[in-house]
Structure formats: structure tokens, C-alpha cells
Structure 1
Amino acid sequence: MILSVEGIQKSYGKEKVLHGVSIRIHQPEIVALVGPNGSGKSTLLGIVTNLISPDHGKVKILNRTNKDPEIFRYVSFMQDNSVLYDYLTGYDHLQFIGDVQGISKGQILSAAERVGMESYLHKKVGKYSLGMKQHLLLTMAIVNEPKLLILDEPLNGLDPTSAIRVRKLLLELNREGTAIILSSHNLSEIDRVTSHILFLKNGQLIEEDLSLHEKVAYELTVQEPEKVIGVLSAAGIEAEHEKENQLIVSLGDASLSQLFKQLSTHEVKVLNIEKKVIGSEERYQMIFGKKEEIL
């Protein structure tokens, strides 16, 4: 067992943030933690890493209590850049970790190269951009080659090129045997690395394998959408009126050619068609409502 979280409860004053949350990760995989701001994601991650004490419940990592300091030789938690010191260089931060955990200079340089920050490794952090700070935080998190890697918004402030590189790195680390918990509001990036999602709502987890929900649908723009819904329904093709002249069409067992044949037979003019994949963003909206709540 890589991670066992059992019955975690946490309140701040009269506000109950977590209501008996449980998580189990048995093998190296990437798991996404998703929820609106204020839903308790950071509190939960803080409890897992023993930075916050729960009111009730327990956490075990690699079958040992998370209160055992030795366990953090095998666990890393990437937090926000408030943990960085402007007057130190990136290398100074990494060397401190190396001194504490007995990590060689070669291992430090290798981690920096994997993230892509070797060119500014010896600059003071006060001169870093937000993206450079994110690179340093990630390098600090992977330098000890952890068995469990916990990341809180790792893509924050990254340009598209850096985001792609980080995504590839996470997939590489996972293939190498690292379990990863990824908290992020970037749902499109989550879909690229995992289908295992933990939605945190009202202090409770809704655990889903999105591969069970994932399906391809088509967004059609047509005239007289209500008429078209009836035409498709008669052919066993599911269609929903989304907005104005747009329909969401799920083919089921039908093919795309059968769809167009049915539309052509009834002289339906398709003004536009776009392919849609139902993923974490759509499931988020189904669970939480407005997408804006995640920001």
C-alpha cells in the first residue's frame, strides 16, 4: 500500500472542511484531486504530509504512519513558492535538501536537467519568473526520487512549452514507479495524464475513473433543432438541445455515416459539426455546476 487515508475529518472553528475522507493508492499511478477553491484540497494534502493535524482519522504512507519523519525520504510535497528564499540560488535550495537527505551533487544536477532549469540553477531566486520558480519547486520535489509525489498546482505560471515538458516528466516518473497525486484546476492537462479523479465536494470525495464515462459526442449546429431531435430519436440516435441552434449528439451504436444519412433523408442542413470528448471538464460541470467555481 503506497497511501492509506482513513476517515479524515477536519474543522476550522464551526466550519467542517473534511467529512470522513478516505483514499487508498495500492500501486504507482497518477491520481488527480479536483475541486473548487475552498473545498479543502490544500487541507487534505497538508494532512497527508503531516503539516496539518486532522481532528479524526489516520494516514499511512508505505505502510508506516505519516508522523514518522523517516518516511519523508520517500515522499515529496510540492507546495507554492512561499517556501522559497529570494536571496538564495536555486542550487542552494537543492543542496540543502541534498545535505539533509544525503543526495549527491550528480543527482541534484540530473533532477535540474530533467525539469529544464539548469541554465538558471545558480541565479538567485529573487530574479526568477513565476515559471522558473515552479521549475525549482518541481525539481526540489523530485530530487529525492520519491515513491509518492504530491503536487499542488504544478502547472501554475508555466508557458505551454514548459507545461508539456512537465506533463511528459510526470508520465515518465510514473512509469519509473512513482505514485503521483496531482491537485490542479487545469482540467485539460489532467485529462492528458490520468483518468483517475478524486472530486472533492462538500468535504467528501467522489472517486471516479473517467475512462468509464469518456465518450465521443458531436456538437451540431442546425436549423430547427427540436425537429432534428425528433428525426434522430426515431433512428435511435440520442440528441440534446444545448443552446440556440446547437445539439449534442451521442451516436451510441450508430456510425457517423448513418447520422448524416438520416439527416440527409430528412433534408436537414448541418451548419457546423465539432467532435467533443466527454472528460474531466464535463464531469466537473455535472458534479459542481458552473465551471467558473474551480478557478
Structure 2
Amino acid sequence: MIVEVNNLKKRYKKQMVLKGIDIQVEEPQIIALVGPNGSGKTTLLNCMTNLLSFQEGEVKLLGKKQTDASIFRDVSYLQDNRILYGNLTGYDHLKFICSVQKIDISKIKEVAERVGMEKYLKKRVRNYSLGMKQHLLLAMVIINEPKLLLMDEPLNGLDPTSAINMRKILLELYEEGTTIIVSSHNLDEIDRLTNTIYFMKDGALLKESLQDISSKKYLITVNDIEKAKRVLHEKVIPFTVTDQYQLGFEETDVDLQSFINSLNDNAITIKDIEVQKVGAEKRYRELFEEELSS
């Protein structure tokens, strides 16, 4: 068993933050952990990695209790950048990890190239941007080639290119046999990373398979957006305007061919059709409707 969390309960004074959390992971996969700020995601990850104590329950990672320090040979936890030291370089951080983990120092160059930080590896962290700090944090948690990787908001501060590279690395790690549990607010990236998601609400976890709840969203670029809008309104076909020349709709609202036919029959030229998967955000809106409207 890779992860065993049984009836985990955590409270701060009288406030119960985690209300009997259960997680079982038997084989490598990528799992997303989603919920509003304050829902307990970071608390859960901190309890799993022994950074926080808890009142009830049990946690085992790779068959060992979370209190067994030896698990961190094969388990890594990406936290926020407050753990970094501004006066040290990125190289200094990675060199320290190599020393503790007994990793050959030549691994630093390899991992720096993999995450794309070789150009600023020897600069002091106090001069890093937010995105550069995220690159360093990623390098720090993958340099030991972990079997289990826990990540708290790894996409924070990343530009689109860096986010795409991050996703590529995580998928590569998964293909290499690493199990990844990632907490993130970036629902579009979650749709691209995994079909398994745990929504955290009121201190409890709700497990979902995005294969069961996801649908497709189509983005249609046309030559005459105003005429297209008039035609679709007349035919009572639901749509959104996503760009100056782009319409959007979900497959659950209207059939793609019917949408295309409505435009073609009225001499509206379709220039491009883009398909996106919609799952995490759709379910999030259903679960957290009150939070979104407040």
C-alpha cells in the first residue's frame, strides 16, 4: 500500500478541521486535492508528513508510519516557498539535500536542467521571482527520485510555459512509477493531469472520478461573431462568447454537429474548433456554490 490514511481527525482547540479522513492508494497514480482556502488541504498534507500532530487516526506512507523518518528517503513534500533561505543559492539548497540524502552531487546539474533553472542555479534565492522559487522547490523534491510525492500548490506563480513544463514533469514522474498527490486551485491543469480528484469540504473528503463527471467544451472560431450570435439566439442554442471571434459551449448543452450545422446553414465560416475537457471546475461549482456566491 502506497498511502493509508484511516479516520484521521485534527482539531485546533474546539474547531475540527479534519473530520475522519480516509485515503487508500494501492498503485501509482496522480491524485488531485481540491477545496477553497481554509478547507484543510495543507493541514491534511502536513499531518501526512508528520509536520503536524493529530488527535485520532493513523497514517502510513509506503507501509511505514508517518513518524518514521526513514520514509523521507522515498517520500518528498513540496511546501510553499517560506521554507527557502534567501541568503543561500539554489545550488546550496540542493547540495544540502544531496548531503542529507546521500545523493551524488552530480545529480544537481541533471535536476536543474530538468526543471529549467540552470541559468539561475547559483543566484541567491532572495533575488528569485515567485516562479523561480517554484522551480527550485520542484527540484528539491524530485532530486531523490521519490516513490511518493506530495505537493501543496506547485503551480503557484508559474507563467503558462512553466505550468506546461511542470505538468510534463509530473506526468513523466508518474510514468516512471511515482505516486503524486497534488493540492491545487488550477482546475484546468487538474483536468489535464488526472481523472482522480478528492474535493475537500467541511473537513471531509469526497472522492470523484472525472471520467464520470467530465464533459467536453468546444471553442468555435468564426468569421462573423455578431451574425453567429443572432443565429444562435434565434435557434435558442446556448453558447458563451469567449473571444472576439470565438464561441464556446459544452457537449451537455448541445450536440457539436447541430451547432456546426446551424452556423453553416447561415453562411457563417468556421475557422477553428478547439476541444477542452471540463470536469474539475464543473464539479467544484456544484459543491461550493455557496462559497462562490458569497
Q: TM-score, normalised by structure 2?
A: 0.83
1:59 & 1:162 partners in 2: Cα distance? 33
Deviation at 1:257, TM superposition (A): 3.6
Mapping of 1:187-226 within 5 angstroms? 187-216=187-216
Where does 1:256-295 land on structure 2 (aligned, <5 Å)? 256-257=256-257, 277-289=277-289, 292=292
Q: Is residue 65 from structure 1 mapped to residue 65 from structure 2 by the alignment?
A: yes
- 8 Å CA contact 1:30, 1:193 repeated in 2: yes
1:175 aligned residue? 175
Q: Which amino acid aligns with 2:177?
A: G
- Please say if 1:119 is aligned against 2:136: no
In the TM superposition, what is the alpha-carbon distance from 1:278 to its structure 2 partner?
A: 3.0
Deviation at 1:258, TM superposition (A): 5.1
Amino acid at match of 2:163: A
Write the letter of the residue equivalent to 1:169.
I
Is the 8 Å Cα contact of residues 3 and 25 (structure 1) preserved in structure 2?
yes
Q: Say which SS state the counterpart of residue 105 (structure 1) adopts.
A: coil
Shift of 1:66: 1.1
Contact 1:31 1:198 in 2 (8 A): yes
Instruction: Give, in whole Å, the separation in 2 of the partners of 1:39 and 1:71.
Output: 27
For 2:46, what is the secondary structure of its paired residue?
A: helix
- In structure 2, how many angstroms separate the alpha carbons of the residues matched to 1:111 and 1:20? 38
Aligned twin of 2:131: 131
Residue identity matched to 2:83: V
Q: Output the CA distance in 2 between the equivalents of 1:107 and 1:39.
A: 37
Matched, 1:89 2:118: no
How far did residue 107 of structure 1 move? 1.5
Question: What is the match of residue 35 of structure 1?
Answer: 35
Output the CA distance in 1 between the equivalents of 2:140 and 2:123: 15
Distance (Å, rounded) in 2 between the aligned partners of 1:119 and 1:224: 51
Deviation of residue 241 (structure 1)? 10
Distance 2:75 2:120 in 1: 26
Q: Deviations over 1:198-248 (max 9, x none)?
A: 0000010010010111223679966897x967xxxxxxxxx8899xxx996
Counterpart for residue 24 of structure 2:
24
Map of 1:108 onto structure 2: 108
- Sequence identity (%): 50
Distance in 2, matches of 1:157 and 1:218, equals 28
Taking only aligned residues, the RMSD between alpha carbons, in angstroms, comes to 3.1
Gaps of 5+ in 2: 220-227, 241-246
Question: Which secondary structure state, in structure 1, belongs to the residue aligned with residue 54 of structure 2?
Answer: coil
TM-score (norm 1): 0.83
> CA offset at residue 64 of structure 1?
1.0
Aligned residue in 1 for 2:163: 163
Kindly tell me the number of residue pairs found equivalent between the two proteins.
277
- Residue aligning to 1:234: none
- Residue type of the alignment partner of 1:214: S
Equivalent residue runs for 1:145-164 within 5 Å: 145-164=145-164
Secondary structure at the counterpart of residue 99 of structure 1: helix
Contact 1:34–1:183 at 8 Å: present in 2 too?
A: yes
2:163 and 2:250 mapped to 1: Cα distance? Answer: 32
Contact kept, 8 Å, 1:131 with 1:157, in 2: the verdict is yes
Q: Would the alpha carbon gap of residues 222 and 115 (structure 1) be closer, same or farther in structure 2, given more than 3 Å must change?
A: same
Deviation of residue 93 (structure 1)?
0.6
**Structure 2: distance between partners of 1:192 and 1:89:** 33
Distance 1:73 1:282, change over 3 A: same
